[in-house]
Structure 1
């Protein structure tokens, strides 16, 4: 049954990320309609991620109080509604409002979705399952950047966004009908929030360290994946090279996530995998301004592969080394995502300023160096993420007292 639950949550991640990244596929038509340059549309990325970062922790609270299934549905439904309302925008300011609503829904779903996978896969296959859900994130990214670009080209950016919104609402309906929590884990259907457990979750050292460590790699990927097509066009690269890069930066996360899931269960300290992955992603970002048409897609593939490799390892922290109670996993994941999402807000905004000012090479250099510097914070973590001792010692989900106080 756990693999069926993983499939449901993965469907939700596909829908969530389609509605996150498909806006970038419409940057060209949007720039023409609103009379703006492509870098000037970067705030659309920042406003989504700002809302996305703000509601991770409240989403975790809601999951503890209302239960995982209800909050999974709520997140997808709100994101879908925001996407449908986006088609009514007549200017950039209006579009930013609806993109913020999309980000709010995605925020709630993302933290709870990772928790929903973790509670079904304690011990063995924990990293692999999270790698698969991360691969679904990548599939949605690729669809949003590439397939939804074709939809928009054949119709309009408004039709493309409304189609994505309908997908999110359909995924919400499927999760509502079929998602269940593990037998004997009644606390995951909703309980009163324990202040003691909540305080322990929000002050966990590992959660904070890995949240900060992912700041640069996370924000740089969100910038690069949505700007790379417009950047390639501004450089005068062929449509084939630009299209391949836009597709590969998303779809490369599928093998990257699965590779992380398999490898992390076979090494003693996956903390090293996390740092190595974040640094390698940053090096590929630094390569972009140096790449000609032939190598452009290689750098894009490397960025997508290494980001999702790192992301799959990173997701194991709350249910692995941090040892957070199952009913508070959504809050722990939410805290990590919130800290990292600051990078997802700041770096696209900074990229837009730098690209319009000193130019693209400086902007890409800042992205890459920020990713390297922040990744090194993970070296201060006391314990490795996952490792062989966790993988081969599966434990049942405990049912803890969660009364207030």
Structure 2
């Protein structure tokens, strides 16, 4: 069976020496910041990850501005991407590195202005020295992801509504700035229910979808190429239904990027789930992911699938790389199982209320996904 080309992107921030704090900070010494930069990361993806993946996979990378890519290293990053044949799949302002009081939504006008400037510099860099690293197909252009790690608060006051209004106005200005550069990027809001504040603006897929409609109605923002970068684990963190979250996006034609990771609880093996912090496991082989892959297949989604994940605190460099390979191949295995699932038979069983028979089909698909993984994976 011929398999379609798929587009997976690897996150720069996965590759670090260790988080520190309650876990080791130097578990992977060769990835220490003073010796392992973004250019080295790009060559690692090409040399250590790409050879272990099927040739039906096109690879890209995901970067934060300005701690992972900036004006000083952007040309070298672009050259490395050209040399390796990788592409810029996603870029995001690393506002959480700089701003602790709301960023774009801040009630401090100086912080808000600085956050707006950071976003505009991110866009300018993508259209400037990084433009050569875009995939040649305009439909595979990078996504500018607006992550809400700094869009939060820990004090309940009437100021929260003003924060929300600030965020609308600032994001509208960013969209207008991007449009003036060419309007070729996709722009996605990444919802998150907590971290780095106890309470967040735009915590769910539904709140992000509503936000885009408000920007269209109030500021005239064209919703073409605008939408959501859903992260599976973020929905799981507060016990939301990831299947329904995807359905909502598909009905709004709003999936512009998709972070495939997990809190882990859906496979019954890895611990995690609602009420936990952002564990960032890679993709798991489970029934939910087969359903998500089937929904994307039905909708014809063919853009980037990002692996926003972390190695385990006890992983060395080789084990951490292997986690990423496993994540990519696990999604491919679920996707191939979804392709083989007889959708007409499934819907027929459901129409006849034979849900146990429908469950049998899904369980068989799960077994097939594991079989596919075993064929794809080589240590």
TM over 0.5: no
Q: TM-score, normalised by structure 2?
A: 0.27
- Pick 1 or 2: higher relative contact order, CA cutoff 8 A, min separation 6: 1
Write 1 or 2 for the structure with the bigger share of helix: 1
Write 1 or 2 for the structure with the bigger share of strand: 2
